Each structure stands twice: as C-alpha cells, then as structure tokens.
C-alpha cells in the first residue's frame, strides 16, 4: 500500500510560508514505527483471543510481562508468562501467522531473551506507574530490541472497552540490558482526552505545545483511521491530516503562517484581559 506524505505549502493568513521547514525525516521514521506498532497490535489481539480459550489454571499464572516478537524468518511469536525475582516463567508460546492460524508450541524460548524483555517491561511499568494509577485509562504495551541492543518499550492508551479512542499521553523508554533508562521520550499533557468512535466524524488532536507530531499522535491517526472521517494533528507550526483516497491513505501537512498565529494569540490574550476586567 502506498502511503505518501504530501507537504502542502499553501497560503494561510495571506502570506507564503517560506521560512518554516517540516521535518519529513522525523515524520517518516515515526510513521514506519506506527505501522509496525499496528502490526504488533494485531498479532497481540489474535494470540490473546486464542489464549482466552486455554486452561484457566495456566492463565492464572500470568503476569503483565507478555510480549510479541519476530524471529529471523519474519514469523511472529507471542509469549505469555510472568517476570518475577529476576526470572521469566514462560507459560504460553504461540506462533502467529494470521487471525485464524495461531498455533501453541511447547518450544522454550531462550532464557536470556525472555529475562531481558521481561525485565525491561517491568522497569517501564514501574516508571509510568504514578500516572497509570491515577487514571482509569487502559493501556497497551509494545517492545522490540533496537540496533544498539537496548529495548524500546512503548505504552499507549488502548482502545477502551466503552469504544473511546484516547490520546494525550504516550510513554516511550529505551532501556539497556542492565535495566537502565537510556532515553525517555514520553509525553503527557496532564490529562487524557478522547472521543467515542461511535460518533465518527472528524477529530482534532491538540498537540499545539509540540512542534513535531508525536509518535503517539501518528499511531492514533493510523490506528483509528477507519473510525473517523478525518483525524487532524494540530501542532505548534503545522496541521497534519490522514486522508483517505480511492485506494489508499495519504498524509497531508499544511504549515501554519507564523504571523497569523501570532495575531491569533494576541487576540486571544486580549479577550482574556477583557473578560478579567468585566469580572
């Protein structure tokens, strides 16, 4: 499927946008990661459906540290178990080829591999625990090893049971095999926002405090593209939209006019001052 980023340098507020630049390299890297996250999510969904048909006593042994991965042939695997006291107890191992072809295997995965992933997930859960405990929002987690041998852990709001699509927080950690956080790319607006997918229509994601679209906002747009007619990512200097064509989807970015934005902020501040005087 061809997914293009179309940069629309248009007239906004009457002036041509010449000074600003859109970081297309950063965007495409995040877009590719978002597409990988979507594939991971499907694998997790398929394997979890199969998991729930298994023996309840075995399921009771599970912790939060389950994960998916691709082997050297590109085949997806899902592992369910529990990381505790420095060791990962593997309970289920599924090979996932499609929604209808999820096969349980007795193959034991390398202990070092399991412990490394389980340890990184446990560290990430601990890191975002204060925020997680303060909200009723449910989360999904994703993990993969990067080219440096560290583990990248992504924790995003899940599709909520009541059909709400949630945004406004994403927790991204690069964790070393020694369980040290090398880099924290998390972002949290201070509250989670959302919209019922049953209402459809357009949705605006307010990220005006960020110059570039975040990975979480791009993933949101890609994940929920079938649920909304249009999804707008509103950043400080641009609007990014995922558009549906006849055969595929296209990303469109329109850069904002700095002068128009400055004028808009001044007008907003003027209104605030006037309201204070009236009160």
Question: Could you give the 3-state DSSP secondary structure of residue 143?
Answer: strand
Q: How far apart are the first and last CA of the chain?
A: 56
Q: Comparing C-alpha atoms, which of 138, 56, 36, 39 is closest to residue 98?
A: 39
- pLDDT tens readout for residues 78-129: 999 999 999 999 999 999 999 999 999 999 999 999 999 999 999 999 999 9
Q: Decide if pLDDT at 269 tops 80.
A: no
Residue 13 near residue 41, CB atoms below 8 Å = no
pLDDT value of position 22: 78
pLDDT value of position 117: 98
The contacts found for 226-230 with CB under 8 angstroms, 24 or more apart, are: 227/165, 227/197, 227/200, 228/165, 228/195, 228/197, 228/200, 228/201, 228/202, 228/203, 229/200, 229/201, 229/202, 230/202, 230/203
Which position has the higher pLDDT, 208 or 274? 208
Q: Decide if pLDDT at 21 tops 80.
A: no
pLDDT value of position 259: 63
| Distance, CA of 124 to CA of 260 (rounded, Å) | 41
pLDDT value of position 267: 60
pTM of the predicted protein model: 0.86
pLDDT value of position 160: 97
Q: Decide if pLDDT at 276 tops 80.
A: no
- In the chain, the percentage of residues whose pLDDT exceeds 70 is 85
The confidence band for 15, taking pLDDT boundaries of 50, 70 and 90, is very low
* pLDDT mean across residues, the chain: 88
- pLDDT tens readout for residues 146-164: 999 999 999 999 999 999 9
Question: Could you give the 3-state DSSP secondary structure of residue 46?
Answer: helix
What's 116's DSSP letter? H
Q: Decide if pLDDT at 14 tops 90.
A: no
pLDDT value of position 270: 53
Average pLDDT over residues 202-224: 96
| Distance, CA of 222 to CA of 202 (rounded, Å) | 14
Q: In the 3-class helix/strand/coil scheme, how is 163-207 assigned residue by residue?
A: CEEEEEEEEEEEECCCCCEEEECCEEEEEEEEEEHHHCCEEEEEE
pLDDT value of position 201: 85
Q: Decide if pLDDT at 18 tops 50.
A: no
User: How many of the other CB atoms lie within 10 Å of CB of 241?
Assistant: 18
């Amino acid at each position: 499927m061809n997914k293009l980023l179309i940069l629309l340098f248009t007239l906004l507020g009457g002036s041509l946008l010449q000074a600003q630049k859109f970081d297309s390299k950063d965007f495409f890297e995040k877009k590719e990661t978002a597409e990988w996250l979507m594939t991971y999510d499907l694998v997790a969904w398929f394997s979890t459906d199969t998991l729930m048909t298994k023996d309840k006593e075995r399921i009771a042994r599970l912790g939060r540290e389950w994960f998916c991965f691709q082997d050297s042939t590109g085949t997806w695997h899902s592992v369910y178990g529990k990381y505790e006291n420095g060791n990962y107890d593997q309970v289920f191992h599924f090979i996932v080829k499609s929604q209808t072809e999820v096969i349980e295997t007795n193959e034991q995965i390398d202990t070092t591999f399991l412990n490394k992933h389980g340890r990184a997930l446990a560290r990430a859960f601990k890191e975002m625990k204060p925020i997680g405990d303060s909200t009723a929002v449910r989360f999904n987690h994703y993990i993969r090893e990067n080219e440096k041998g560290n583990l990248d852990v992504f924790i995003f709001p899940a599709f909520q049971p009541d059909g709400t699509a949630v945004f406004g927080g994403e927790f991204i950690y690069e964790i070393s095999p020694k369980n040290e956080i090398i880099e924290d790319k998390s972002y949290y607006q201070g509250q989670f926002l959302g919209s019922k997918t049953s209402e459809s229509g357009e949705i605006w994601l307010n990220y005006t405090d960020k110059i570039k679209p975040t990975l979480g906002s791009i993933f949101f747009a890609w994940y929920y593209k079938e649920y909304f007619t249009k999804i707008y990512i509103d950043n400080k200097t641009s609007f990014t939209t995922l558009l549906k064509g006849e055969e595929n989807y296209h990303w469109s970015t329109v850069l904002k006019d700095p002068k128009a934005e400055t004028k808009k902020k001044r007008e907003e501040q003027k209104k605030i001052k006037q309201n204070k005087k009236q009160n």
